[in-house]
Amino acid sequence: GAGRAFAAGADAREFDSDPKPPHLPDICDRIARCDVPWIAAIHGAALGGGAELALACRYRIARPDAMIGLPEVTLGVVPGAGGTQRLPRLIGIRAALDLIPAGKTVSGSNAKEIGLVDEVDDDPAGFAEMTNAEWLGMAVPVHELNSGEAGPDIFEAARETARTKMRGQIAPLRAIDLIERAMTAPFKEGMKEERATFLDLRQSGQARALRHVFFAERAAKAPAHLPRADLPDRVAVVGGGTMGAGIAYALLNAGLSVTLIETDAEGVDRARANVGKIIEASERRGLIDAAGAGARRAALTLTTDYADAAGAGLAIEAAFEAMEVKRDVFAALEAALPADAILASNTSYLDLDEIGAALSDPSRLVGLHFFAPAHIMKLLEIVRGAATSDGALATGFALAKRLRKVPVVAGVCDGFIGNRILARYREAADTVFMDGSTPWEVDEAMVEFGYAMGPYEAQDLSGLDIAHANRRRQDATRDPARRYIPIADRMVELGKLGRKTGAGWYRYPGGGGKVEDPIVADLALEEAHFAGLTRTDYSADEIRHRLILSMINEAADILAEGIAETAADIDLVTVFGYGFPRWRGGLMPHADTLGPAEVLRGLTTLAQEDPVAWRPSPMIEDCARKGIRFSEWRRG
């Protein structure tokens, strides 16, 4: 690797064609059985096939900061060149079960602790040259080692963990089966089974979907026509609430200095506490050490005076979601910051062009829509207003790169890409609830589909008051022909705002778990009675059918209107921002598995009961008419 990387694994693009010789299992076998013992001198990444090459060597030396692992399950496959057979023999069954089914990587230092490498050194190649030949001659090839034993309960616990943390995915469970075979089968037989499993899975629908997300994520970067943007060392953040504190911490984590502005001394104290909690939690979890925590606190300035942010080259507004508040903030920023500073809004729904209309130079304004928690969630919607300059847009991409986030450009509309799809998803869920279901039946149906949680549990987490405030904002412009479901408004009237009040769509007793609330179910019965409805008993399949079609239809309109540039952008938003199961490839590849004609048939049928909510998107009609996939559709 010449100091840069050992070997970062296979080129996943080759998985769509037949394997070509020389095959990696054969190469690893020749290395392992060679009369002259091989040494792996590992620096940088040794991932997938790279890690398998290292496992085939007689001796392994790594830099402390090397990155070693078998992440194949994240692409829907299992290791295919001995990973599931050699790793358990080297580090034991339990440690292998901790790494392979989750696709975890470890540092060189951690690898030494678990026995994955023999030595750690800053110069692994130099250390290798000095390795004692006698030690080397005594080293036993990994395939000759015994994996040790583990009881059936250990494997069942690993399977349960995989079912919970990698819900719906096939590869982790197949990997566990192969690790179990390493304990019971001869090495040659285990290798044969591993290779057959790898070749079978790499052409599976899940593997193709995961590869799609993998390549879409890597393609998410600044377009070539944008100018180069250099991020300033200091960034101002306005608003120290949950979102503002998360944004500030993300910036601090990236090595930037932050001036956080609040309205008064009480707000400053609250902001300091909010950022402090994140720093303390990160230190407690071992993500940063005491020195790192101190450095982050030192790089943070809290103030009520916009003049203290005069040296910032970028300002991100994360204030209350009201147009008059936003415009006041930007007027103050424009007065305090240099004329070439970029101004950004974290608004989730509001019209960026209306915000920018109050600026003397609206070309400086760009939307940077972070997702909560802002220091954890990978998605960043970069909203391009009518006047947004290429320089402002480029700054958004540069920030995303610095923060290691996935950038997606969105046009201006209510909710941009993600929240607009989310609103339609929740509307469909509320309609199902009103007409014949319960929140827990809806949630269960979507968890079975692959979501970590359903729409009602997710809303309990964020707070029902947030969605309520957004509905009130939309009252004046809501289509009177569109059906309105009032149940969520009644929840807010009852003070059931979610986890923070101990009760929302579910009740949250002192133990912390959620329980079904019969009061909530009764609300739907009451509202259906008031509306003169005869309720329907929806199956889980019907619930999923309606909610998924609602999202596909809204996404198609977003593409047709040019709010999103490509179908892959929709996929990145739904996967990284809203929990759509990654192994389904995102919303649009899943739509392609159904097919435009089938999607259109479903929407046409549903439109018979509500022609406003279920009107098929012209894009879907166009795809069905032309016989093309959603991913192939282009505007114009």
**Quick check: pTM over 0.85?**
yes
Taking each continuous run of H as one helix and of E as one strand, the counts in the chain are: 28, 16
- In one letter, which amino acid is 345? S
Residue (of 11, 66, 59, 12) closest to 34 by Cα position: 59
Helix, coil or strand: residue 167: coil
What gap in Å lies between CA 117 and CA 111, rounded to an integer? Answer: 6
What letter would DSSP give residue 139?
P
- Residue 551's pLDDT is what? 98
Cα 152 to the center of its chain, rounded Å: 33
Q: Work out the end-to-end distance of the chain between its first and last CA atoms, rounded to an integer number of angstroms.
A: 47
Q: Which two tokens stand for residue 206?
A: 């899940």
Q: Is residue 466 a contact partner of residue 488, using CB atoms and an 8 Å limit? A: no
What gap in Å lies between CA 42 and CA 145, rounded to an integer? Answer: 22
List the catalytic residues. 369
Q: Which two tokens stand for residue 34?
A: 């060679």
- In one letter, which amino acid is 216? A
**Residues of the chain whose pLDDT is less than 70?**
1, 511
Contacts of residue 69, defined as CB under 8 A and 6 or more positions apart, other chains included, come to 46, 47, 48, 51, 99, 103, 104, 105, 106
Which pairs from 248-252 meet CB under 8 Å and 24+ separation? 248/275, 248/300, 249/275, 249/278, 249/279, 249/282, 249/296, 249/374, 249/375, 250/370, 250/374, 250/375, 250/403, 251/403, 252/296, 252/299, 252/300
Q: Is residue 337 a contact partner of residue 312, using CB atoms and an 8 Å limit? A: yes
Count of CA atoms in the C-beta half-sphere (13 A) of 500: 11
- Residue 511's pLDDT is what? 64
- Residue 481's pLDDT is what? 93
